[in-house]
Amino acid sequence: MQRVTACTLECPDVCSLWVRRKPDGTPAIRGNPEHPFTRGFTCAKVHKFLERLRSPERITQPRVRKTNRWQTISWDEALNLCAENIQRFRCEPASILHIHGDGAKGVLQLVPQYFFAALGSSRVIGSLCDNAGIEACIQDFGSLETNDIEDILNAQVIVNWGKDLARSSVHVAALIRQARKKGTRVLTISPGGDGNGPFSDVMLTLRPGTDRFLAAAVIRLLMERDRIDPPVVERISNWSAFNRLMEAHPWQQLADRCGLSNENIEQVFSAYTRFDRVTTLMGWGLQRHTMGGENVRFINALAVLSGNVGRMGAGSYFNISSMRNFNTSWASIRTHRVRRDFLLPAIGKEILRTINPPVRMLWVNGSNVVNQAPESRLVAQAFQRVPFKVVVDAFPTDTAERADLILPCKLMLEREEIIGSFLHDYVHYARKIVEPPDGVRSDIEILTELGKRLDPAIHVPDTDTCFRMAIDSPFLDISLDTLRQEGFTRAKRPRIAYHDLQFDHPDGRYRLPQSLHPEPQAPQDFPLRLLTLIRKNATHSQILPENQKMPPCVWVSPDNPVLPTLRLDLPVFLASSLGRMQVRLKTIAGLHPQAVIYRRGDWMKYGGGANQLITAQTTDLGNGTAYYSQFVRLENACKDDL
């Protein structure tokens, strides 16, 4: 018997799933063939996730640290310990810091935010991922909207700015294949080293972090060759200032900055001007530079100025909010206290320098923040300073290992959820399919019981109440019972964003960027740019220990200038100003010579963890994390290491 549920991993596709029981009782998963977007297939991450459910490494009972050793305790003991510490620090709620992430997505993941908002605790702001691009789109368009993703099938040309179609979204990859069969041409622009070859007609390899200069060079050609239509200019509020900005940057100078030839610039110009319907598809990496917001803004500007926004087959895609179709106001509790904010990209520094009051208690859920935040060693030191740390997780991650108390949580397929997507407008009910191990609980179960133990108590809405409040939205017209029965519904959203160039700023007009900053030059001692890219089979650091091969592998171009200086028969190290780690070195064709690729997510405790080498830098917009602005070098061991 097939049962319908949905994936809750942090993935844009949010697949509707069919799950059946094999004869041995274990679940088997496939994409729901009756779902309009999933269409019967899903990704490797979902299939690999089944290994996590019954992994021998999984934590299934609360653990407390005593004399630097772990001891299993009961849930009553664990929750009483949490309550005692919260009561002790509650008179100064700013001394309690809540750190949350998207280890699982969905409506119920708002409950921890609700709970700690009611407590008045400190919270994190900023992002370890896409905030720079989100803020860029909001500054440009006035909101975060895109055409329906399936509208790319109407494009004559798709310009892919850095999206790894082999790893990031199997359904976008399928749409690209379908579009190419219809005659759509695909131009891919990236530093290379990705899996985009089979999806592309033309591939251009640009210098990492310089996407804005390429987009600006093409815009300058549009202006010089009088290829911007007057009706488009009329829909822009700051055209004159932008025109003056561009006059200060000759297109040849811009081309030189991104490392592309004149012929390459003409190829991009032709892609945006030769055809009527050009789709711009952006990857979630070009915003991970110090000027990541500017990268996104200039690419959006190119799409708008070439007339390729607000029409069928001609949109600009960064992303959309996975919660945009829900009512989330119930989770935003107003208190009489002003809550203290900690900048997530610099969380280690923030904890260590905060003294009035210092952080006395940490609660972490849905995040392996020690591993995933930059300057991981400093984050670990900051955790060490905090007297009481609670981590809700299913595995002994780099973060859980630094807790005083680990609370084991339920995983996907073991609990129910309602989830939206940051790619499409389908909302799914994720049904509980398998029984979890004895001794694990969901976040809402943990916080419901913990709230009762406090004085005064914090009341947490039950699951059905959270679900009903969330779907009480102008974009959804479905009852909870019907959603549970049918498994999914499509939100009421227009399929074309910004139709007829009507934008969401108060005046209805578009905003062009007003600055164009240079890209930082590589320091003499660290000539290479580190790109910590995604994996195909795992979401961020959700990697089982047996799947972490050490030393970690890095890839460089065969033309990398450092290669001739290395002895490959000796240990090779990846080094930054923060330290170094041993790596295995491989070459890959098509990668920019100045780039080093590291597939992120492996754990420090096993010898991985690229973020220990990455300096905490924020992006120009949105308080994002500028991971890809880290400069490194490759070197052999010195004599003292041999």
Question: Residue 236 — very low, low, confident or very high, per pLDDT cuts 50/70/90?
Answer: very high
Which is it for strands 202-205 and 185-190: parallel, antiparallel or unpaired? parallel
- 448 occurs within a structural domain: yes
pLDDT, tens only, 395-441: 999 999 999 999 999 999 999 999 999 999 999 999 999 999 999 99
> Which residues pair with residue 582 across a beta bridge?
573
Q: What is the widest separation between alpha-carbon atoms in the chain?
A: 73
For the chain, the distance separating the N- and C-terminal CA atoms, rounded to the nearest angstrom, is 60
Which is it for strands 405-407 and 388-392: parallel, antiparallel or unpaired? parallel
Distance CA 275, CA 308 (A): 10
- 519 occurs within a structural domain: no
Going by C-beta distance under 8 Å and a sequence separation of 6 or more, which residues neighbour residue 546? none
Task: Determine the pLDDT at residue 37.
Answer: 96
- 535 occurs within a structural domain: yes
Last-in-domain residue among 426, 460, 494:
460
Task: Determine the pLDDT at residue 67.
Answer: 86
Task: Determine the pLDDT at residue 335.
Answer: 67
Q: Indicate if the pLDDT at residue 327 is higher than 80.
A: yes
Distance CA 160, CA 199 (A): 10
What stretches of 246-375 adopt beta strand conformation (E)? 278-282, 316-317, 341-343, 361-365
Q: In this structure, which amino acid lies at residue 400?
A: A
Let me know whether 155 and 83 are in one domain: no
> Which residues pair with residue 584 across a beta bridge?
553
Instruction: Give me the domain span that covers residue 143.
Output: 131-318
Let me know whether 118 and 137 are in one domain: no
Let me know whether 140 and 112 are in one domain: no
Q: Which long-range contacts (CB under 8 A, 24 or more apart) does 385-390 make?
A: 385/351, 385/352, 385/358, 385/359, 386/97, 386/351, 386/359, 386/360, 386/361, 386/362, 387/360, 387/361, 388/85, 388/360, 388/361, 388/362, 389/361, 389/362, 389/364, 390/82, 390/361, 390/362, 390/363, 390/364
Let me know whether 82 and 38 are in one domain: no
Q: In this structure, which amino acid lies at residue 171?
A: H
Read off the tokens for 504. 């969401």
pLDDT, tens only, 120-137: 999 999 999 899 999 999
Interval 560-568 mean pLDDT: 94
Distance CA 12, CA 423 (A): 5
- 333 occurs within a structural domain: yes
Let me know whether 307 and 206 are in one domain: yes
CATH number at residue 589: 2.40.40.20
Distance CA 538, CA 533 (A): 12
- Which range among 18-22, 78-82, 382-386 shows the weakest confidence by mean pLDDT? 18-22
Read off the tokens for 172. 């976008």
Let me know whether 48 and 67 are in one domain: no
Going by C-beta distance under 8 Å and a sequence separation of 6 or more, which residues neighbour residue 190? 160, 161, 162, 196, 203, 204, 205, 206, 283
- 613 occurs within a structural domain: yes
Could you tell me the pTM of the whole model?
0.96
Cβ–Cβ contacts within 10 Å for residue 19, how many? 19
Interval 73-81 mean pLDDT: 98
Q: Would the CA dihedral through 313, 316, 322, 325 be positive or negative? A: negative
Task: Determine the pLDDT at residue 639.
Answer: 43
Cβ contact 292:626 at 8 Å: yes
Let me know whether 26 and 45 are in one domain: yes
Let me know whether 86 and 194 are in one domain: no
Task: Determine the pLDDT at residue 337.
Answer: 72
- 486 occurs within a structural domain: no
> Which residues pair with residue 343 across a beta bridge?
125
- Number of domains, the chain: 4
Task: Determine the pLDDT at residue 637.
Answer: 78
Let me know whether 357 and 285 are in one domain: no
Residue ranges in 487-620 assigned as alpha helix (H): none
- Average pLDDT for the chain: 95
Q: Indicate if the pLDDT at residue 191 is higher than 50.
A: yes
Cβ contact 181:308 at 8 Å: no
Q: How many CA atoms lie within 13 A of 401 on its CB side?
A: 13
Going by C-beta distance under 8 Å and a sequence separation of 6 or more, which residues neighbour residue 391? 364, 365, 397, 399, 400, 402, 403, 405, 406, 407
Write down how long the chain is.
Answer: 642
3-class DSSP assignment, residue 198 = helix
Let me know whether 220 and 346 are in one domain: no
- 275 occurs within a structural domain: yes
Q: Indicate if the pLDDT at residue 642 is higher than 90.
A: no
pLDDT, tens only, 442-489: 999 999 999 999 999 999 999 999 999 999 999 999 999 999 999 999
CATH number at residue 407: 3.40.50.740
50 to each of 29, 45, 210, 499, 539, how far by Cα in Å? Answer: 9, 9, 39, 43, 13
Taking the CA atoms of residue 563, residue 564, residue 570 and residue 573 in that order, the dihedral angle to the nearest 10 degrees is: -40
Going by C-beta distance under 8 Å and a sequence separation of 6 or more, which residues neighbour residue 604? 370, 371, 376, 380, 398, 612
Distance CA 452, CA 469 (A): 22
Task: Determine the pLDDT at residue 336.
Answer: 66
pLDDT, tens only, 613-639: 999 999 999 999 999 999 999 999 764
Let me know whether 264 and 349 are in one domain: no
pLDDT, tens only, 334-376: 766 789 999 999 999 999 999 999 999 999 999 999 999 999 9
Distance CA 600, CA 535 (A): 7
Let me know whether 44 and 186 are in one domain: no
- 207 occurs within a structural domain: yes
CATH number at residue 209: 3.40.228.10
Cβ contact 212:298 at 8 Å: yes
